[in-house]
């Protein structure tokens, strides 16, 4: 992927008409535990208006969804629900852009901290999160089903600082998700 291709990727708010294209990527990246259409509909139902508690973004180029990310907020704590990039966009910095977008949203929601779960075997994503200042705080045994894979729980305090100064250019994330 060239820098030009990276620049052609636009981030924007995820809307209901994006769900089918997001599901295609979701099923490709997470075949064992892909979210259902209903799960995305439910999340987007809480993403608009004055009482919004969710923020969902898609990354798009040439009419193709090449990434997406979502954040849920409860009592000033953000929770990364999902973040993923198409395999052909790994290593382009798209994962960092999506994470920056979520942390900017967490700041707008006045979150004190942001949490996430990531597969213990997804070291690529863990490195990205560490570059943004996330720290491991625990393990959730058997969190990812049906594979019975453990999740590493990570936390970032002060998301406004991390969104403004990530040291993760050129890094991309395969995906992390929470079925929260």
By annotation, the residues acting in catalysis are 117, 129
Q: Please give the distance of CA 33 from its chain centroid, rounded to a whole number.
A: 15
Report the run of H or E that residue 140 belongs to, with start and end: strand 135-144
- 77 beta partners: 74, 113
Q: Find out whether 154 and 113 touch, Cβ atoms under 8 Å.
A: no
How far, in Å, CA of 19 to CA of 26, rounded? 10
Label residue 23 exposed, middle or buried (CB < 10 Å: 0-12, 13-18, 19+): middle
Helix (H, G, I), strand (E, B) or coil at 61: strand
> Residue 165: which of 142, 139, 132, 138 has the closest Cα?
132
Q: Find out whether 3 and 94 touch, Cβ atoms under 8 Å.
A: no
């Amino acid at each position: 992927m060239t820098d030009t291709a990276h620049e052609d990727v636009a981030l924007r708010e995820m809307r209901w008409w994006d769900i089918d294209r997001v599901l295609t990527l979701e099923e490709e990246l997470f075949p064992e535990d892909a979210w259902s259409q209903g799960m995305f509909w439910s999340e987007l139902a809480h993403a608009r208006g004055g009482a919004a508690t969710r923020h969902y973004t898609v990354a798009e180029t040439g009419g193709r969804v090449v990434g997406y990310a979502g954040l849920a907020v409860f009592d000033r704590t953000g929770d990364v629900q999902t973040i993923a990039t198409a395999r052909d966009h790994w290593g382009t910095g798209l994962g960092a852009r999506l994470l920056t977008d979520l942390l900017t949203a967490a700041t707008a929601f006045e979150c004190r901290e942001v949490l996430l779960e990531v597969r213990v075997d997804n070291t690529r994503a863990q490195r990205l999160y560490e570059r943004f200042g996330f720290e491991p705080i625990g393990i959730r045994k058997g969190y990812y089903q049906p594979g019975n894979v453990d999740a590493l729980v990570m936390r970032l305090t002060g998301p406004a600082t991390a969104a403004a100064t990530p040291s993760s250019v050129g890094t991309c994330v395969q995906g992390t998700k929470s079925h929260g």
